[in-house]
Amino acid sequence: PGSRGLLHSEDEVALPCIHKLVAASSFSKPKVLTAASTLKFIPEELAVFCRDFRLLHFYFPENGLAPQAFRVANAIAQAREEAARLGDAAGGWASPGEAPPEEEEEEDEDGEEGSSTTLLFESLRDWEKELQRLGAEGWRVSAVNERFDMAPSLPKYLWVPSGLLDHDLKRTFAHFQERRVPRLCWHYPGGGDLLRAASFHPASEPGSEDVREALLRGAARWGHQPGGCKRMRRGLQREPPPHHLAPPEPSDRDLNCLLASLVQLLGDPHARSLPGFQSLVQREWVAAGHPFPRRLGLLGRDTPREEAPVFLLFLDCTWQLLWQFPADFGFTEAFLLALHDSSFSPYFSTFRFSCQRQRGHSSLPRLPSQTYRPMGGWQDPGGHRGDPHPCSFPPVWAWGRRYTRQQREQFRNPVGPPGPAEPLSPGTPADPCPWGGPRLVLTLAKGSLCPHTLPWWSRPPLRPPLRVSPSDSQGTQWGLLGTCQPPPGLLLPCTAGPCIRLWHRCYLRGMPQEQRGRLAPSLAGLAEELQLLQDRLHAWNLRRPHCDP
């Protein structure tokens, strides 16, 4: 209860969060209401199916005699449509000049810690900082797309091989769909790099001098990435250091986001901290140009065919990991649920736009006449200071505006690792392979990792490293992992059927028992009590120094 952000009660629902509106009476079939198809009978019941799996059920007791019932039902249908249309208005019906809401939310010191340490990846500094943390040598930040003229859907800054000059880089864009060139996502401390890119443009001639030269000069080991699914995590989780792999899907805007971020969750403890996770979503989804509005179906004009819960799938996968490794995450289920809830609301800059370019545009006041302001209100953009084009909506990470301090406390897992943001230790490759030796590039295609990659790559006899073969694994070789322990910080989730659970608190959240314990302070409470006792004991000892503790 009370965790619904902008809304004040369990009985409220934001208009865009309405999935379906159904009216029924005993004289007629139930009818799905839309703005176009209005009610022809007086309803006795009204059911509001929400995107967040709640169901609000209203019953008009006066059995069809209440004309208000008729009016209310139609009004909701209209308003919902209206809201969607408004939201649709080309990137935003921002609230320019709108006075900040009366209630000045107190910005307590630690309250926005999460959002202040979250990198939004809109500034050069963020990209540089993160690259440094990853310790990815041989890569640099390129500002070649700063004006979005190279690739409109890509972020301003890209991580590209150091040896690749912008001049040469520019020539490669045309070869990829939506001009989304291969670029670094993550550097595994053991040595491997994770890259992502769209597939080749149909008109591209990959063998042409242009591409080859550009790629080779940068000594880049490009791969490209196709879609994959959850089970692929296994394949990816232990990239043998000398190999580079990258997932291709034609557009590089959906499953690549999912995969790239899951791999990092498995391999990078920082990504499992709260700010780290937020930064991860910011980089691999928001900045990378995942078309949130279309995929989440937030805007009215979107065709249902474009709707696909890719991001929600990611949240579910994350929950599976969280469930399997509760102690390895700095955030809790409550946090994931809050994020899940927030994704149905178009009032956050995070989910409103399809790419950085669009976000930038939207910040210019476009509909000055529009004075709509969602209930509860929002404030001026939070999070990213010094951004030249602040967006009028707060990022979803500004939790302090929607959740009480107490609720936000429940987002943190007190037993989880703090998730140090310092550079990853280089780590020794477990399977040392001399630099410059044959380097395997693996591509993820149709759900499996294949050694086959770019057409100009020649290393035919290479066999994929991730291989379990009965004859090979006899003796000391124990399956894929060998006898060695997984490197510290790497999670190896179990993907067998019995280990994949239903995320009850998310999908069944309408059931009262699932609500319970959602923000349960069980572990947090114990930890706090512990702290309290320790403090008191300490204080006690100070007062009576002669006494042995």
321-360 residues near other proteins, rule: CB under 8 A = 323-327
Considering only the stretches 195-203, 283-291, 318-326, 359-367, report the one whose residues sit in contact with other proteins under the rule CB under 8 A: 318-326
Q: Interface with other proteins by CB under 8 A: which range of 25-33, 115-123, 248-256, 341-349?
A: 25-33
What φ, ψ does residue 31 adopt, rounded to 5°?
-125, 135
Q: Which is nearer to other proteins, 388 or 461 (CB)?
A: 461
The Cβ of residue 459 has, within 10 Å, a number of other Cβ atoms equal to 11
Among 24, 72, 313, 430, binds other proteins (CB under 8 A): 24
* 120 half-sphere exposure, CB direction, 13 A CA radius: 23
Number of residues that bind other proteins (CB under 8 A): 92
Could you give the C-alpha distances from 191 to 162, 425, 426, 533, in angstroms and in order?
Answer: 16, 11, 8, 45
Q: Which of 20, 129, 171, 230 binds other proteins (CB under 8 A)?
A: 20
Residue 219 has φ and ψ, to the nearest 5°, of: 50, 30
**First vs last C-alpha separation in the chain:** 43
Examine residue 494 and tell whether it contacts other proteins (CB under 8 A). Answer: yes
Phi-psi region of 516 (alpha: psi -120 to 50; beta: other; left: phi over 0): beta
Compute the least distance from the CB of residue 241 to other proteins, in Å.
16
Q: Which is nearer to other proteins, 167 or 446 (CB)?
A: 446
Type of residue at 373: R
The three-state (H, E, C) secondary structure of 312-372, written as one string: HHHHHHHHHHHHHCHHHCCECHHHHHHHHHHCCCCCCHHHHCCCHHHHHHHCCCCCCCCCC
C-alpha–C-alpha distance, residues 293 and 327, integer Å: 33
**Position among 269, 457, 506, 519 found at the interface with other proteins (CB under 8 A):** 457
Residue 426 is a binding residue for other proteins (CB under 8 A): no
- Report the alpha-carbon distance of residue 405 to residue 297 in Å, rounded: 31
Task: Examine residue 495 and tell whether it contacts other proteins (CB under 8 A).
Answer: yes
Among 40, 167, 305, 467, binds other proteins (CB under 8 A): 467
User: Least separation, in Å, of the C-beta of 235 and other proteins?
Assistant: 4
Instruction: Enumerate residues 6+ apart whose C-beta is below 8 A from 414.
Output: 523, 524, 527, 528
Which tokens is 42 given?
Answer: 């007086």
Q: Which of 97, 368, 461, 545 binds other proteins (CB under 8 A)?
A: 461
* 17, amino acid identity: C
Does 471 engage in binding with other proteins (CB under 8 A)? yes
| Complex with other proteins: residue 401 or 509, whichever CB lies closer | 509
Interface with other proteins includes 538 (CB under 8 A)? no
Nearest Cα neighbor of 193 from 249, 136, 248 is 136
Contacts with other proteins in 191-250 (CB under 8 A)? 207, 216, 219, 231, 234-235
8 is a site residue for other proteins (CB under 8 A) = no
Please say which residue, 134 or 312, places its beta carbon nearer to other proteins. 312
Rounded distance, CA 385 to CA 383, Å? 6
The reply on whether position 493 binds other proteins by CB under 8 A is yes
From 33-41, 340-348, 363-371, 469-477, give the range in contact with other proteins by CB under 8 A: 469-477
Tokens of 523: 């572990």
Verify binding: residue 520, other proteins, rule CB under 8 A: no
| Closer residue to other proteins, CB minimum distance, 99 or 327 | 327
338 CB neighbour count, 10 Å cutoff: 24
Cβ of residue 249: shortest distance to other proteins, in angstroms? 18
Binding residues for other proteins restricted to 40-99, rule: CB under 8 A: 44-45, 47, 49, 53, 55-59
Q: What six digits make up the tokens of 226?
A: 């196709």
Q: Does 417 bind other proteins (CB under 8 A)?
A: no
112-171 residues in contact with other proteins (CB under 8 A) are none
Instruction: Select from 323, 332, 345 the least CA-distant residue to 398.
Output: 345
Pick the closer one to other proteins by CB: 28 or 379. 28
